[in-house]
Structure 1
Amino acid sequence: MADESPFKGKTGLRRVWNALHYSRAGLRAAYRAEDAFRQEVLLAAVLFPLAFLLSPNGVGLALMIGSLLLVLIVELLNSAIEAVVDRVSLEQHPLAKRAKDIGSAAVLLALLNIVAVWGCVLLG
């Protein structure tokens, strides 16, 4: 199709290799440009080792680590939404505000999920 990226047709190991580079570039861009992402990486860096120390079992550890990774994933998606909205237009618009607010709410829920999961795992 004419509207698709010329890179869409790549397959096999070449596609995987390219995807790894794009992902690395995305993580680097988020870390450099997004204060919230840096703060959440710091939170994860502090809590990740604590999960190994505090978790009573493997399932608890998986839940605790998963909740940390979920925050980073949601923040990356939120940052991507904000970048696209800003790329389209910097003028204030109700739909742009709604998109950014919904993305922010998703991050808040992911952060609350950390509290809930860690509380359940640690308090039994």
Structure 2
Amino acid sequence: MSTPPETRESPQAQKQRHGLARLRHALGYSLAGLRAGWHEPAFRQEAIAAIVMLPAAVWLGRNWVETGLLIGCVVLVLVVKLLNTGIETAIDRIGPEWHSLSKRAKDMGSAAVLLSLLLCAGVWIAALAHRLLA
């Protein structure tokens, strides 16, 4: 998705803003990133799972620390997935030809997503087991 020429800014425009204007524009860029992520099927699936899991974390957690861990690991999966998608997008922009460094970068991003998913699954399974067996 390219930005129309009339909405492009110079690279220094953000650095010249201060206060609320800077925050407002930064929020706009962040929301644009979330919209771009939503177009990725894997991110969309994980976001939909998060919509279910976040309220469940409030029910499952026995105190604010447990609830925070359950919520935190779900949000971590989304963060890592967005970063991985950013890496993949940047690599794809460089060109479609195969290169060992491009493959390595994409593989490491994918491994980061896998580790975040395993962490999340482990925390949730432990919390569920603790809740059901207590």
TM-score (norm 1): 0.90
- The 8 Å contact of residues 37 and 76 in structure 1, kept in 2 or not, is answered as yes
Which residue number in structure 2 is paired with residue 60 of structure 1?
Answer: 66
Aligned-pair identity in percent equals 50
- The 8 Å contact of residues 55 and 122 in structure 1, kept in 2 or not, is answered as no
| Residue identity matched to 2:18 | T
4+ runs deviating over 4 angstroms: none
Is the aligned partner of 1:37 residue 2:43?
yes
Is the aligned partner of 1:10 residue 2:17?
yes
Provide the C-alpha distance between the structure 1 equivalents of 2:126 and 2:66, rounded to a whole number of angstroms: 9
Query: For residues 12-67 of structure 1, what are the alpha-carbon distances to aligned partners after superposition, in whole Å with 9 as ceiling and x for unaligned?
Result: 111100000000111011102x1110010011112112111211111100000000
Provide the C-alpha distance between the structure 1 equivalents of 2:37 and 2:28, rounded to a whole number of angstroms: 14
Unaligned stretches of 5+ in structure 2? 1-9
Which residue number in structure 1 is paired with residue 3 of structure 2?
Answer: none
- Higher Rg of the two aligned structures: 2
Provide the C-alpha distance between the structure 1 equivalents of 2:16 and 2:103, rounded to a whole number of angstroms: 35
- In the TM superposition, residue 91 of structure 1 has moved relative to its aligned partner by 0.7
Unaligned stretches of 5+ in structure 1? none
How many residues align? The count is 120
Which range is displaced more, 8-17 or 58-67? 8-17
Which residue number in structure 1 is paired with residue 97 of structure 2?
Answer: 91
